[in-house]
Amino acid sequence: MKKKRVLFLSIILLSILFGLIGRLMQVQLVQTESFSKHKINLIESSVEQRTQQIVIDEGRGAFLDRAGNPLTFDEENVVVLFPFLNKIEWPSATVASILGMDEADIKRDLLGAKEPVVLKGSVDLTQSQMDRVNALEVQGVFAVKKKVKKSVVPAAQLIGVTGENTTLFHERYPDRVKGANQPVGVSGLQGIFDEWLIAEEQAKLVYHVDATGGPLFGADVKYVASANPFYPLNVKTTIDSRAQEALEEVADTYEMKKGGLLLLDIASSEIVASVSRPKMKQGDPFGEGATDYMRKALIPGSVFKTVIAAASLEEGMVDETRMFDCDQNIRGGEAQKPHGSINIRDSLAASCNRTFADLANELTEKDPDLIEEYADKLGLTGNVAWKGDVFHYEDFSQLKLEQSRIFASETAKGDRNEIAMTGIGQNEVRVTPIGMANMMATIARGGKAYEVSAVSTVEYQNGADMVNFPKQEGGEGISPFTAMKMQQYLRGVVNSPLGTAPYLQEAAYEVAGKTGTAQTGSYRGEKIKANELYNKWFAGYFPFHDPKYALVAVNMDVLVDEGGIYPIFKDSVDALYRLDQE
């Protein structure tokens, strides 16, 4: 009986011993880089425990503007001090003299530090100062170039944000074992292009220390970075930083609370600038400022009449000899703004609801899908964003746009009242400002539709192209004749006697375009007419005779007597004119 107890106890002890050995093998040999369900990298963690280190560059690829300048970070010349300097004698007075600082300020920055610190007064050093500091060869004192995130990122909602999320990292990249604690793209282009941007390795200064935090004898500070000279990759966008800054300033001047401005290059349908309000807040990137309203599907109002006019002309259903009774509203009652009997050209200039309600019904009677088809042909809806096969991606899309729609259901195409409301851009019509700008670009360049792009290339670190995103045709487009007619009609919105936007005659460039005041169905406070909220639009292009830009401005959820869109559009045009003259 005693032998059995001893045998049983021995088996238990051996089982525990083998279990501990197995666990040790798991930790030290098998799962060193991906331990437990949390996939902890034990090697990286152990190194961090016995070193002091500072990240100089997180290693993630950057977004560049069309000129190749960084959009998401700045590079600063700084001095880095390691905490063990508190325990040794070092030439702090000499360093202070080189930097033009007070020695006491340097000691104060370093006092009590547990991690390496960037000397507060050392930002924007000259190269000469950096060379002189490094020539001292003081261990723990280094003048380096450090990448820092910009406090304000241009086109912030379009670019998007990153966040440290190890679960998301392992979901996206199950085969990667290193760098799970690095930022991953969460929204915007940061999310879409994340696989290209993800870091191979951080660049950092690393110093091995003993248990007390002092330097290990004979150990030097090491610079650790990716050994691959081609990485990280950079994403070169189509953003023009000067134009972006100019339109941001216009939005701020007019205190736009909700909405924004979207600028396209007409020759290519590339996004030159994208401004969305409310602003993204640095401390709360996922708050109310996270929404990119340039990619949201919004109620367009009368800007949508452009589609009805183009479709009616292309289908041969209307010409300038046909007259419409613009003393009537869409239901046959008295119009709020009567204009008498006028043709299609003057109807678009005056934004006559009756004309486009009638034409919408005629188009639907001919073919229930015609309105939707022409919205696609003009590049307003459908495949608006650049899409194609790139590496292992099928139908890779540069932009995630909210789904546009013309009708909410097929049954709506059989209801004349719903069709009439659709014809004037109300009811269930929802389109994106990006699509709206693309439609204006299609008309301006003679009827040819292109897909909208925000990125031109993905580049290696040496500037060589890894991936190109060439200009691609979008919808079918419209005939040059119809485009020419639409150009004349859209110019009439600004310069004809019945035009709704005469204010824009004073713009630095000749403007063509279409106004829109869309009822949102929302109210500010009590549900009465005076409190009703509108989306106010102007979508157009310029210069009229040599089109270069398509621009959409939308001021959302404003009262009828506030948030005027014409001054915003005009000041944007004028700002771009000034830039072009420089």
Active site residues: 302
* Distance, CA of 278 to CA of 135 (rounded, Å): 48
Say how far apart CA 270 and CA 272 lie, in whole Å.
Answer: 6
Whether residue 111 contacts residue 277, with contact meaning beta carbons closer than 8 Å, is answered with no
d(Cα 192, Cα 186) in Å, to the nearest integer? 8
Interacting residues of 221 by C-beta distance below 8 A, sequence separation 6+: 82, 139, 140, 142, 205, 206, 207
Burial string for 195-222 (b: 16+ CB within 10 Å, else e) reads: ebbbbbbbbbbbbbbeeeeebeeeeebe
Tell me the C-alpha distance between 357 and 305, whole Å. Answer: 9
Bridge partners (DSSP) listed for residue 342: 324
Cβ neighbours of 282 (radius 10 Å): 14
Q: How far is CA 413 from CA 112, 189, 369, 417, 427, in A?
A: 72, 36, 8, 10, 12
What is the distance between the alpha carbons of residues 198 and 186, in angstroms, rounded to a whole number?
Answer: 12
Sheet holding 234-237: strands in order across? Answer: 63-64, 234-237, 455-459, 465-468
Measure the CA–CA gap between 504 and 511, rounded to whole angstroms: 7
Q: Which residue reads 């109620």 in tokens?
A: 299
Distance between CA atoms of 540 and 303, rounded to whole angstroms?
A: 10
- Cα distances (angstroms) measured from residue 75 to each of 142, 144, 361, 491: 16, 10, 59, 46
Check: CB of residue 158 under 8 Å from CB of residue 264: no
Q: Is 577 exposed, middle or buried (0-12, 13-18, 19+ CB in 10 A)?
A: middle
Distance of alpha carbon 67 from alpha carbon 242, whole angstroms: 10
* H or E segment and range at residue 103: helix 103-110
